Chain A
Amino acid sequence: MHTGEVISDFFKVSQGIENGETCLTTGWPFLQVGAFTPADSSGDRTIVVLNEANDAANFSLNVVDSTGSKFSMKSSIPEHAIQTYTV
């Protein structure tokens, strides 16, 4: 008898995705994100982060734009909260 995560490397070995481990999940994860680009490409992108958990979470936003340039930003979200970032 054991307890813990049930981890698969399927996407790592089939598609070569770095950090591609996935875990068997009941429904969906506590921390979720959605991102949108505006019709006008000069406008801000919108990133919405939702934390359904009873615990706060730290995360980093890694944004890659259409030109391939990247930027990262560290942030945190309280328990049962939703945040919007425009970048």
Chain B
Amino acid sequence: MGNVCDAPLIAVPHRAKGAVSIPSQLNFEKVGHPFGPVIGDFKAPFVLQYDYGIPEKYLDLGIAVQPMYFYMGHISRHVRPGARPVHAIVGNSPVGVEGKTFMSVDQATLGGGLNDLARIGIEVTTWPCEGSTRQYWKYNEAGQFQVFGQDWLGNPTTSCLSINTDQYFGGLTLEDCDANGGMFAIKPSQNQVNSTVQYSQIVLQNSLSDPAHSCLMIQPLPGNGGALGPLGGAQVLTGNCNSLSAVSF
């Protein structure tokens, strides 16, 4: 199906049955967005249902029901007023179980298919390791952490862990490798967390900041991460090389 949710517009090829004096296609359905052609243009209702899962019976009423409608149905059908979210997260495999969610033991490469979030402007966060391409990095010749994938139109994308924190997110994001890519050195941690594991620290090199305050570190979410708990979605930024999160990679 592809990620139709992300598509900016889906053409509605005809109006409700019996409707009169409405143009076959309005201007806003055709023009003005940067992401390529309108999906579903000139396609018959039964083709839209088959290709994109947009039900024909609603098209006959003049409504293009997009996949998000069905996503929301999963919540609204069973989660009734007064319900509360509780702690839930997709975790690592428990001890004794080999492999990861998207990567079985006999699999050489990370799974999940192409990463559609390897794009400029996406925030970099930490989550339990799922063995997927969304967590697959290339430490390239320039010392950058680079990711590869494609956008929802199939165009290849690449980007790098940024040199600066994003002014809105407050954490590191994916940016253009040449313009805003951080260059990092991976070194053995000076302060050892324990004696059995040799941890690393990851130090930003192409910055005017104090090297002792240029280490990759993890910023836990407020409220211990809410319903996701601490493991879900903590921010990544640069800071004090002696902090515990900076010496635990």
List chain A positions with a Cβ less than 8 A from chain B.
1-15, 17-40, 43-48, 50, 52-55, 57-59, 79-80, 82-84, 86
Contact = CB atoms under 8 A, between A and B. Distances in A.
Contacts of A44: 78
A36 B245 contact: no
A7 B224 CA distance: 20
Interface residues of B, number: 76
Secondary structure call for the B interface: loop
A51 to B, nearest CB: 9
Interface stretch (B13-21, B22-30, B42-50, B115-123): B115-123
B59 interface: no
B48 to A, nearest CB: 17
B140 A1 contact: yes
Given A4-B137, A9-B248, A24-B137, A38 B80 contact: yes
A47 B110 CA distance: 26
B126 interface: yes
Nearest to B81: A39
11 contacts: A5-B136, A22-B234, A25-B125, A26-B149, A27-B124, A27-B125, A28-B117, A30-B102, A30-B132, A44-B78, A53-B102
Contacts of A13: 193-194, 244, 248
Nearest to B2: A80
Given A11-B230, A30-B134, A23 B127 contact: yes
Given A9-B197, A39-B80, A1 B138 contact: yes
A29 B103 CA distance: 14
Contacts of A17: 230-231
* Residue among B94, B127, B233, B249 facing the most chain A CB atoms (10 A cut-off): B127
B137 A29 contact: no
6 A-B pairs closest in CB distance? A54-B113, A39-B82, A35-B88, A53-B112, A27-B117, A22-B126
Nearest to A65: B86
A29 B138 contact: no
Contacts of A40: 82
A20 B83 CA distance: 28
Nearest to A84: B74
A3 B138 contact: yes
Nearest to A31: B90
B90 A19 contact: no
Nearest to A50: B71
A80 B75 CA distance: 17
Contacts of A28: 117, 125, 127, 134, 233
B125 A19 contact: no
B90 A29 contact: yes
Contacts of A52: 3, 116
